[in-house]
Amino acid sequence: MEAADLINNARAQEYGSPSVNFSNIAKGWEVILNVGVTAEQVSLCMAWLKTARIAGDGTASSRDSFVDGAAYMALAAELSDDVE
């Protein structure tokens, strides 16, 4: 519930539409990586970033990291629905 509230309220107001925001991020990553990147993949990569931090030395395993990771996965699911 906390992750849903985060992506539908605070983050949406701060960053705008996740679809637009992650599509813009994908465009930048495409230039850097020289491969195609989707908005859904951006969200999955961000979720992995949170997972890697949590699994790392344990210093990033705060509640916020878990909530952010859940939010990124939820956004990936929503973005996946946008594609289909």
Encode pLDDT of 4-48 as tens digits.
777 767 677 777 788 888 899 999 999 999 999 999 999 999 999
Question: Residue 57 is which amino acid?
Answer: D
Residue 24 vs residues 1, 45, 59, 65: alpha-carbon distances, Å = 27, 15, 30, 23
Average pLDDT over residues 71-80: 91
Task: Give the per-residue pLDDT at 30.
Answer: 97
Sequence-distant (6+) residues with CB within 8 A of 11 are 18, 71
The tally of domains found in the chain comes to 1
Residue 64 belongs to what domain range?
Answer: 2-83
Verdict on whether the full-model pTM lies above 0.85: no
Is the torsion defined by CA of 2, 39, 18, 24 positive or negative? positive
How many beta carbons lie within 10 A of that of residue 14, not counting itself? Answer: 8
